[in-house]
Structure 1
Amino acid sequence: MVVSNPPEDRIPVIVGVGEFSDHPKELTAGLEPLALMIEALKRAEQDSGAKLLKDIDSLDIVNFLSWRYTAPEKQLSEKLGINPKHAYYGPVGGESPIRYIHEAAKRIARGESQVAAITGAESQGTATKVERAKVDLPWTPFAKDAPEPLRGANYQKPMATKLGVAKPVTVYPFYEAASAAHWGQTPREAHRESGELWSRYAGVAATNPEAWIKKAYTPDEITTPTPDNRLIAWPYTKLMVANPMVNQSAAILVTSLAKARAAGVPEDRIVHIWGGASAEEPRDYLDRDQYVESHAQNAVLKVAMDLVGGSGRNFGAIELYSCFPCVPKMARRTLGLGSDVQPTVTGGLTFFGAPLNDYMAHAACAMVRKIRAGTKTGLLYAQGGFVTKHHALVVSKDAPKQPLAQDTNVQADADRNRKPVPTYVTEASGNGTVESFTVIYGRGGEIEHGVVILRTAANERTLARVPVQDQATLAFLMDPDKTPVGSSGAISTAGDGVLEWRKAP
């Protein structure tokens, strides 16, 4: 079957990328997200070598949490003097920048758009310092009537919230422990892999002009707890989690190939969008079948590999989402890549910085520069929520062999591999087997308590606490040379009604 090439006004290409990092000399001189996005868009236009901002007919804004606006897509459009047919401000999700690029490309392929802009920004570094200093900012007034973004604790089970395992930094450790045990690693071996992987992210950030932290940390510096690198939730230290205290913005301009050439974009600036896929896990992590892999992650990465001949080794460069080490560790195994993988072109959410939902917009900028410099194909893999939302996108200097697909949701493939989900219960007794666990630390470095996900004798799932007084069980959980996953112990009910677990004698 011969596939005809689409006309150039239906071929989507990335033509401009722009980034900005705001390091104000005075606290109140820090820029708000709207101003940061405008700066990034101007830089993206300059990068393209053509006048394109006035022709934007599609605008997607990544959700920001450091400041709240009423209809930010309208406010930004007004400031730019544009009236796009498509103007969208999306929900929380670290995958959203890649999804928006992909959706913009599909609109161009359908003939609905010719110039699309994707942008986002955060000013959390300034906003946090200002709140602590109790001073006012000369920003657009905070929109108290705007909807509050829906975040994890809003939809997790009450016991998860009560035990402190309803936010990313305390949920991802469950995947870390379970996956390491599944791969046959001791906790020490898994921790070493995380440190070596994170050190590679840090090394790239050290050379990225837009990175927030430009230090090439060693694996031991990353994994060893110190007063400046405290444990947050076992086994993750501060240098192993995302750093949101940044002021950063990014913008990507996507046009049709016809528009790019008509506007005078130099050919060496043009990067083609080959395609990708999206899929999700159940929103509540306690409603999933297991914590050793993500079926949604596997499904979207398989589509990406199929676009380059079926192997992850065929990518010239990759960006694996890096909020916590378990995510790229799972992804590199699905891609068939070794432990020596170079997982980033950007620097990672710890070291480059994590402008909350917008990191992957920066990753797209870095990947475009990499492709322009001679790398043939690149993979952008993004993730959001609690290993929840997944999106992969393949970009290349070369034109794709097939027209851009419109049906890119692979949820059915993800769901097909899902095993039965255990019933969640809040009452249990008898023996419980550890499915996964973490230990939560206070800001002073002290242990607050442990949390275990258990399977009961009836194969039901429940959450239980390990109180700080039970030093023997806590030491058992954190033994670096033997995983507690799969171990049995006694379930009891404490005076406050919370289930507790103690290791078997």
Structure 2
Amino acid sequence: MTSAPQSEDRIPVIVGIGEIVDRPKEIAAGLEPLTLLEEAVRRAEQDSGGKLLGDIGSLDIVNFLSWRYRDPAKQLSDRLGIKPKHAYYGPVGGESPIRYLHEAAQRIARGECSVAAVCGAEAQSTATKAERAGVTLPWTPFAKDAEEPKRGAAFQKPMAVKLGVFMPITVYPFYEAASAAHWGQTPREAMAESGNLWSTYSDVASQNPNSWLKRRFTPEEITTPTPDNRLIAWPYTKLMVANPMVNMGAAILITSLAKARAAGIAEDRLIHIWGGASAEEPRDYLIRDQFFESHAQNAVLKAVMDLAGGSGKAFDAIELYSCFPCVPKMARRTLGLGADVQPTVNGGLTFFGAPLNTYMTHAACAMVRKLRGGAKLGLLYGQGGFVTKHHALVLSRQPPEDALAQDTSVQAEADRNRGAVPEFVTEAKGQGSIESFTVIYGRSGDVERGVVMLRTSDNARALARVPAKDHQTLTHLLNMERTPVGSTGMIVTADDGVLEWRVA
């Protein structure tokens, strides 16, 4: 039995992509995010070869963090001279561009609009330089009364905030250490995998004209601490984390197959959206069952593999979100791909640059170029929070066999695989074994403290500090030949009431 042919006015296709990179010679000449947005959308229309802006009925803007606006969707609409029925400015999250693309495609498939735009922009490089230099930027006035989005600390336990493990750079190491131990890697082997993987990202970035850093870095350059590549939180150096100090904008235009053809857009410009999936972990990372995998990530990636015939090897173009190495390392294993995977079409958040929440908008543009250039099946996987929010999308030059599904959450599958969550405690004594850990460094390269996630003798979970002066325990944590995960030591309570852990 074959499915009925789809109506061409309900088949969503990507028709236009636009990007802008701003490197001003003077701080005050830097373009504000709203201007970058407008230019990116206009470039996307130009790329399509059709006249589509006036028909935009759906507009999604990725959350800004470098500048704050009052009702940015209306301000952008006014600049473009449009009045979209759906105009949305969303919350923070690195997965949000993929979600917006997916939802825009679903709107077209439901017949709610005929043209949709997804766009994002940041100017953190200029904003930071201006603040440091005391330069007043001639931008739209900063909207101090606009609500600031909730981030990091808002969702975490007070003890995580007190110990400094409430930001991405200090939380992702828990996944890094736990996953490497689970896979049977020594810390040295895990570091080597990260270095090789990141070097591959840098190689792609070096060939992308829109990248912020346009040179290839060797694995050793990436993993070796130096004054210019300082350790931030073990095992991550500066060249292993996202680089938000960029000025970039990107936009994608989607329309129906019928409208694309009516607008005279060439068939070889059209990229079909097959579908995707989404799921989340609890926002408070301390109420997850473990840290060597993400059930939400697994469920999302398995769902998109099913769209591609059941194998990750079906994708010949892939973008695996790359805020920190543990994310694509976990993802490529779930996809059944080897360490030699080509994980990016764009260059990664370290080397291409990380315009905060909107990196995947640029990655989607790069994927469209890759598919137009001959690749057959593309996977875009975005992630947000602390391995929290996951969304993936499958793109192709070929139309899908079936209509775009509307219910694409795989949350039930993720929740079904979740194990028992240990009670979190702030009081404990006796023995405790390491579930995961990190070591936090100051700007001078000196250790500020270690932080270990423990299981107590009655299997509760706790966070404990390792003081910088406890050289024996720090040496144990930083041993490159043997993971400390699973090792046992003593829990004591410091004078300030915080738990501390000492190697046995």
- Give secondary structure in 2 for the equivalent of 1:57: strand
**1:92-491 maps to which residues of 2 (within 5 A)?**
92-491=92-491
Which residue identity lines up with residue 39 of structure 2 in the other structure?
E
TM-score calculated relative to the size of structure 1 = 0.99
Structure 1 counterpart of 2:35: 35
- Give secondary structure in 2 for the equivalent of 1:390: strand
Structure 2 counterpart of 1:52: 52
Which residue identity lines up with residue 360 of structure 1 in the other structure?
M
CA apart distance, 1:360: 0.2
- Give secondary structure in 2 for the equivalent of 1:239: helix
Distance 2:254 2:79 in 1: 20
Which residue identity lines up with residue 345 of structure 1 in the other structure?
V
Distance 2:63 2:6 in 1: 33
Cα-to-partner distance string for 1:416-449 (whole Å, 9 max, x where unaligned): 0000000001100010010000000011111100
After TM superposition, what 4+ stretches of structure 1 lie above 3 angstroms from structure 2? none
Cα-to-partner distance string for 1:234-264 (whole Å, 9 max, x where unaligned): 0000000000000001000010101111111
CA apart distance, 1:2: 2.3
Cα-to-partner distance string for 1:296-330 (whole Å, 9 max, x where unaligned): 00001011101111000010110000000000000
- Give secondary structure in 1 for the equivalent of 2:332: helix
- Give secondary structure in 1 for the equivalent of 2:395: strand
Distance 2:134 2:160 in 1: 32
Which residue identity lines up with residue 58 of structure 2 in the other structure?
S
Which residue identity lines up with residue 377 of structure 2 in the other structure?
T
Distance 2:326 2:274 in 1: 27
Distance 1:503 1:158 in 2: 25
- Give secondary structure in 1 for the equivalent of 2:2: coil
Distance 2:78 2:39 in 1: 15
Distance 1:406 1:274 in 2: 12
- Give secondary structure in 1 for the equivalent of 2:344: coil
CA apart distance, 1:55: 1.1
Cα-to-partner distance string for 1:116-161 (whole Å, 9 max, x where unaligned): 0000000000000000001100000000000001101112101111
Cα-to-partner distance string for 1:322-371 (whole Å, 9 max, x where unaligned): 00000000000000000011100000000000000000000000000000
- Give secondary structure in 1 for the equivalent of 2:93: coil
Distance 2:137 2:120 in 1: 20
Distance 1:78 1:347 in 2: 33
Distance 2:135 2:11 in 1: 49
- Give secondary structure in 2 for the equivalent of 1:340: coil
Which residue identity lines up with residue 310 of structure 2 in the other structure?
G
Distance 1:2 1:343 in 2: 35
Distance 2:38 2:241 in 1: 29
Query: Which stretches in structure 1 are left out of the alignment for 5+ residues?
Result: none
Cα-to-partner distance string for 1:186-236 (whole Å, 9 max, x where unaligned): 000000000000000000000000000001000000000000000000000
CA apart distance, 1:184: 0.1
CA apart distance, 1:113: 1.0
Distance 1:19 1:444 in 2: 37
Which residue identity lines up with residue 444 of structure 2 in the other structure?
G
- Give secondary structure in 2 for the equivalent of 1:306: helix
CA apart distance, 1:6: 1.5
- Give secondary structure in 2 for the equivalent of 1:296: helix
**1:69-108 maps to which residues of 2 (within 5 A)?**
69-108=69-108
Distance 1:4 1:195 in 2: 49
CA apart distance, 1:488: 0.5
Distance 2:475 2:134 in 1: 42
Distance 1:48 1:476 in 2: 57
Structure 1 counterpart of 2:9: 9
Distance 1:183 1:65 in 2: 36
Which residue identity lines up with residue 141 of structure 1 in the other structure?
P
TM-score calculated relative to the size of structure 2 = 1.00
Distance 1:208 1:73 in 2: 29
Q: CA RMSD in A?
A: 0.5
Aligned-pair identity in percent equals 75
Distance 1:444 1:54 in 2: 53
Distance 1:470 1:26 in 2: 47
Task: Please tell me whether residue 65 in structure 1 is matched to residue 65 in structure 2.
Answer: yes
Distance 2:204 2:43 in 1: 22
Distance 1:442 1:127 in 2: 24
- Give secondary structure in 2 for the equivalent of 1:363: helix
Q: Contact (CA 8 Å) 2:27, 2:135: kept in 1 or not?
A: no
- Give secondary structure in 2 for the equivalent of 1:322: coil
- Give secondary structure in 1 for the equivalent of 2:452: strand
Which residue identity lines up with residue 175 of structure 2 in the other structure?
Y
- Give secondary structure in 2 for the equivalent of 1:66: coil
